[in-house]
Amino acid sequence: MATVDNTVLTTLDSSKTQWYHYKAVIISGMGFFTDAYDLFCVSLITKLLGRIYYHVPGSSKPGVLPPHVAAAINGVALCGTLLGQLFFGLLGDRLGRKKVYGITLFLMALCSIASGLSFGSSPKSVMTTLCFFRFWLGFGIGGDYPLSATIMAEYANKKTRGSFIAAVFAMQGFGILGGGLVGMGISGVFRALYNAPAYSVDPVGSTPPEADYVWRIILMLGALPAVLSYYWRMKMPETARYTALVAKNTEQARKDMEKVLNVEIQVKKPAENNLTQKNKPFGLFSREFILRHGLHLLGTASAWFFVDIAYYSQNLFQKEIFSAVGWLPPAKSMSALDEVFKISFSQFLIAFFGTVPGYWFTVLLIDRIGRFLIQSLGFLFMTVFMFALAIPYQHWLLNKTGFLIMYGLTFFFANFGPNSTTFIVPAEIFPARLRSTCHGISAAAGKAGAIVGAFGFLYAAQNQDKTKTDAGYPAGIGIRNSLFILGGINLLGFACTFLVPEANGKSLEEMSRDNEDEEEQEQEPRNVEPV
Task: Report whether 476 contacts 462 (CB < 8 A).
Answer: yes
Residue 471: what pLDDT?
Answer: 65
Of 365 and 329, the one with more pLDDT: 365
Residue 263: what pLDDT?
Answer: 67
Given pLDDT bands bounded at 50, 70 and 90, which one contains residue 80? very high
Question: Does 4 have pLDDT greater than 70?
Answer: no
Given pLDDT bands bounded at 50, 70 and 90, which one contains residue 365? very high
Given pLDDT bands bounded at 50, 70 and 90, which one contains residue 412? very high
Question: Does 213 have pLDDT greater than 90?
Answer: yes
Given pLDDT bands bounded at 50, 70 and 90, which one contains residue 399? confident
Question: Does 244 have pLDDT greater than 90?
Answer: no
Question: Does 393 have pLDDT greater than 50?
Answer: yes
Distance CA 241, CA 53 (A): 52
**Average pLDDT for 174-203:** 94
Distance CA 96, CA 510 (A): 22
Residue 162: what pLDDT?
Answer: 93
Given pLDDT bands bounded at 50, 70 and 90, which one contains residue 16? confident
Residue 474: what pLDDT?
Answer: 78
Of 239 and 321, the one with more pLDDT: 239
pLDDT in tens, 514-528: 666 544 443 444 444
Given pLDDT bands bounded at 50, 70 and 90, which one contains residue 215? very high
Of 356 and 265, the one with more pLDDT: 356
Residue 267: what pLDDT?
Answer: 47
**Average pLDDT for 203-210:** 93
> How many CB atoms neighbour CB 190 within 10 A?
21
Question: Does 320 have pLDDT greater than 90?
Answer: no
Residue 521: what pLDDT?
Answer: 43
DSSP string, 4-63: HHHHHHHHHHHPPP-HHHHHHHHHHHHHHHHHHHHHHTHHHHHHHHHHHHS--TT-SS--
Task: Report whether 460 contacts 316 (CB < 8 A).
Answer: no
Residue 531: what pLDDT?
Answer: 38
Task: Report whether 278 contacts 33 (CB < 8 A).
Answer: no
Residue 274: what pLDDT?
Answer: 45
Residue 273: what pLDDT?
Answer: 45
Residue 457: what pLDDT?
Answer: 77
Percentage with pLDDT > 90 across the chain: 51
210 Cβ contact list (under 8 Å, min separation 6):
190, 193, 194
**Average pLDDT for 124-139:** 95
Length of the chain: 531
Residue 23: what pLDDT?
Answer: 86
What is the phi/psi pair of residue 65, to 5°? -65, 135
Residue 327: what pLDDT?
Answer: 74
Residue type, 241: R
Distance CA 242, CA 399 (A): 54
Residue 516: what pLDDT?
Answer: 62
Distance CA 308, CA 264 (A): 43
**Strand, coil or helix: 115:** helix
Residue 131: what pLDDT?
Answer: 95
Distance CA 457, CA 483 (A): 10
The region of weakest confidence among 42-56, 194-208, 254-268 is 254-268
Please give the distance of CA 360 from its chain centroid, rounded to a whole number. Answer: 15
b vs e for 83-98, b when ≥16 Cβ sit within 10 Å of the residue's Cβ?
A: bbbbbbbbbbbeebbb
**Average pLDDT for 209-225:** 94
pLDDT in tens, 414-438: 999 999 999 999 999 999 899 999 9
Of 57 and 271, the one with more pLDDT: 57
Percentage with pLDDT > 70 across the chain: 89
Mean pLDDT of the chain: 86
Residue 324: what pLDDT?
Answer: 65
Residue 483: what pLDDT?
Answer: 87
**Average pLDDT for 217-237:** 89
Given pLDDT bands bounded at 50, 70 and 90, which one contains residue 231? confident
The region of weakest confidence among 137-151, 323-337, 367-381, 479-493 is 323-337
**Average pLDDT for 477-486:** 86
The candidate with the shortest Cα–Cα distance to 244, out of 509, 19, 531, is 509
Residue 119: what pLDDT?
Answer: 85
pTM of the model: 0.87
The region of weakest confidence among 99-103, 364-368, 493-497 is 99-103
